[in-house]
Amino acid sequence: MKTVPSLLMLFSCIACSKPDSIQTKETPPYVVSKIDSTLKAQWVGSSIPPPPKVFYTDYNFIVDNKSEQVFLHRKKFMLFCGTGVDFTKPDFLYLTPEDFKLLSKDEIQSYFTDTLPNLNNQQAIVLASFQDSIKLKEVRTFIDSVFIARNIPRFNIRMVTEEERIVLEHKKQNLPYFADSIQWSDNFTIPFIHKRKRINSRTTQ
């Protein structure tokens, strides 16, 4: 009779422990730098130069994995040509905290499932991340279903720009923001354009 409890205990242990092969696997994060390097490698040896990076488009989503927040701004500046312009750098947009909208989960779902898949070929999307790894479930699913599947022809996934990061930090901390008080780097398409504006605004006061 002692064998019955022993068998019950054995079956209980088997039921509680699932083999690794049938355990639910989490979707791996999207690593921005890794994918970016892969895309660059595809153009090595090609006689055709790779397309220029698109920093700002019709829809610019900013992902913060730590706070699990997604922001949207729709400000862009199109510079089609110019001598001495470095197109590997972003434009300075003069963003303000008011330009960024914090999206609710319902709004994220609405954009990702309804609005964005129906864009025309002239419109583009940018996903920018504070961190190198994008782990947020809704965003990761959208990358797989829309970007990786090439359901949207024009898009870019990148790290946040200096301007986006600084302006959003002020917004999230509810701090007053004055672009004139920031010590900006020269990492913009036209160096010192924002500094020239700052000088001009002071001389008119």
Q: Residue 71 burial by CB count (10 A; 0-12/13-18/19+): exposed, middle or buried? A: buried
Query: What percent of the chain has pLDDT above 70?
Result: 63
Domain-located, residue 187: yes
In this predicted structure, the answer to whether residue 23 has a pLDDT above a threshold of 80 is no
For the chain, the domain total comes to 1
Q: pLDDT digits over 36-94, tens only?
A: 666 566 566 777 666 667 799 999 999 999 999 999 999 886 555 555 567 788 888 99
Domain-located, residue 196: yes
- State the pLDDT confidence band at 106, using cuts at 50, 70 and 90: very high
How confident is the model over 9-26, as a mean pLDDT?
A: 47
Question: What distance, in Å, lies between the first and last C-alpha atoms of the chain?
Answer: 97
Those residues whose C-beta lies under 8 Å from the C-beta of residue 85, and which sit 6 or more positions away, are 79, 189, 190
What residue has token string 């970007």? 147
Q: pLDDT digits over 139-167, tens only?
A: 888 887 766 666 676 788 899 999 999 99
Those residues whose C-beta lies under 8 Å from the C-beta of residue 9, and which sit 6 or more positions away, are none
Query: Which residues span the domain enclosing 73?
Result: 26-79+89-200
What residue has token string 């089609």? 80
Domain-located, residue 192: yes
CB 75 within 8 A of CB 60: yes
- What pTM, to 2 d.p., does this model score? 0.73
CB 76 within 8 A of CB 57: yes
In this predicted structure, the answer to whether residue 129 has a pLDDT above a threshold of 50 is yes
